[in-house]
Amino acid sequence: MKNERPTMNKQYLIPKKSLVLCLVIAMMMSNGAFGKSARKLVNIGNEEYLSGNYSNALSMYNQAAEIVPNQSRISFNKGANYYRQGDFTNALDAFGRVSLNSKDPWLESRSKFNMGNCQFKMAQQEQAKDAKKALEIYGSSVRDFKDAYKIDPALKAAAENIETVRKQMKVVMEEIKKKEEQQKQQQKMAEEIKKMLGKQKNALKDNKECSKKQQSQQQKQSEQQKQSDKQKQMSDKSKNMSEQAKQQSQQQKKQAPQPQPGPRKEPETKLDKAAKHLDGASEEQKKAAEKLKKGQGQDAEKNQEKAIKNLEQALKDLSDDEKGQKKQDQKQQQKNKKNQDNKDKRSDQKKNDKQKQQPQQSDQSKKSDKDKKEQSFTPLLDEAKDIIKEEKENAKVRQIKSATWKKVDKDW
């Protein structure tokens, strides 16, 4: 993952014609509304940001924003700060304001790039809860990266991220398709169980009526034999449905988010529970068939009633399956995300320590082949560190080359 970083520039440029604005700002500062200038507040905020003190950094940026409202670079810094705290909604809003208000193509392209990153993170969070909604957000992420690349074709990371997001979208679409197929299979099974339940209730009714009928022993045995044959067929059908439920459960487990390595107990799905109740129904139906064959109609009634209860529970298990599976997938996804976030934090800390020991190198070719494979997605462009280290060198590049603009000598 290429670790370019969001711009926190200390250079603020004000148009020559904005003298009234400059005077108003100066008056606010002279009245003691803030003891430090907006420039100094931003600088302090940057230092807090670099130290990981994001709450303090945000406080400094907010104070600076009160002195200079709608300042694009302050909004950009706030967006970077929100992003690092995992508040992607507010980060997206902050970067969005920059892209709307900024006249600097460089800053606008980086804002769009970071908006793409925010949307990507938001889609990841949404994926376990609502795959279709996540797919829409991934699409918005692609559009933001496209805008960034259109504004600045030199921003190759945007093009790379577009491909990464599209691959993720393909994965989500496949997941949606598989879940829809699973739902169709389960709906079909639920319909078969309903039919089975109706047949079993009718079998119980016929058995009770047979016991009350005034008929010869031979006629009664003949009728009970027919009932026994039907119960045997229902028993075989229930067993077959149980095997189907077990197969579908195994497929779902394979397609569910993979847990972290290590010993674990395989979770029991609703389909597993439904399969157990179908096995129970099959066993009771088999016992009922045997008793009916022996002419023990009243004893068979108890087994038939138990079979009905098992079929009803299996039907309930299937109706609850989608909700239960979604909750389980969401829990596993959140666990995986937490582990990944911890890994990212360790990676960021390692990079920070490395930057303190040696100058930042922009030549990505020095990274190992293994690193390149792992770095398939370029994270937030956050250049606060570079600005503090390279402010003097970048000052000329950052200035807008226009006769109507100039660098202000004094703070605001």
Express each pLDDT in 17-30 by its tens digit: 222 222 222 223 33
Q: What's the token pair of residue 337? A: 């995300």
Residue 130 in any domain: the answer is: yes
Q: What's the token pair of residue 9? A: 């520039």
Residuewise pLDDT in 10s, the chain (412 residues): 343 444 333 332 223 222 222 222 222 333 333 335 888 999 999 999 999 999 999 999 999 999 988 889 899 999 999 999 999 999 999 999 998 888 899 999 999 999 999 999 999 999 988 999 999 999 999 999 999 999 999 999 999 999 999 999 999 999 899 888 888 888 898 999 999 999 999 999 999 998 888 778 888 889 999 999 999 999 999 999 999 999 888 887 776 665 556 556 677 888 899 999 999 999 999 999 999 999 999 999 999 999 999 999 999 988 864 444 455 555 545 555 555 555 455 445 544 554 444 333 333 333 334 333 333 455 555 544 333 333 334 434 434 333 333 332 333 2
Residue 102 in any domain: the answer is: yes
Q: Which residue from 79, 92, 88, 160 is spatially nearest to 124, judged by alpha carbons?
A: 88
Give the per-residue pLDDT at 264.
61
How many Å apart are CA 83 and CA 339, to the nearest integer? 18
Which residues make Cβ contacts (< 8 Å) with residue 291, sequence separation at least 6? Answer: 297, 299, 300, 303
How many Å apart are CA 256 and CA 233, to the nearest integer? 35
Query: 49: domain CATH number?
Result: 1.25.40.10
How many Å apart are CA 371 and CA 125, to the nearest integer? 25
Residue 355 in any domain: the answer is: no
How many structural domains are present in the chain?
1
Q: Which residue from 383, 297, 366 is spatially nearest to 114, judged by alpha carbons?
A: 383
How many Å apart are CA 359 and CA 382, to the nearest integer? 16
Residue 145 in any domain: the answer is: yes
Residue 158 in any domain: the answer is: yes
Fill in the DSSP letter of residue 366: G
Report whether 292 contacts 207 (CB < 8 A): yes
Residue 15 DSSP SS3: strand
Residue 400 sits in which domain range? 13-173+378-407
How many Å apart are CA 306 and CA 371, to the nearest integer? 61
Residue 398 in any domain: the answer is: yes
Name residue, tokens 């606060």. 384
- pTM higher than the cut 0.75: no
Residue 69 in any domain: the answer is: yes
Residue 67 in any domain: the answer is: yes
Fill in the DSSP letter of residue 230: H
Predicted confidence (pLDDT) per residue in 319-347, tens digit: 864 444 455 555 545 555 555 555 455 44
Give the per-residue pLDDT at 63.
93
Give the per-residue pLDDT at 1.
36
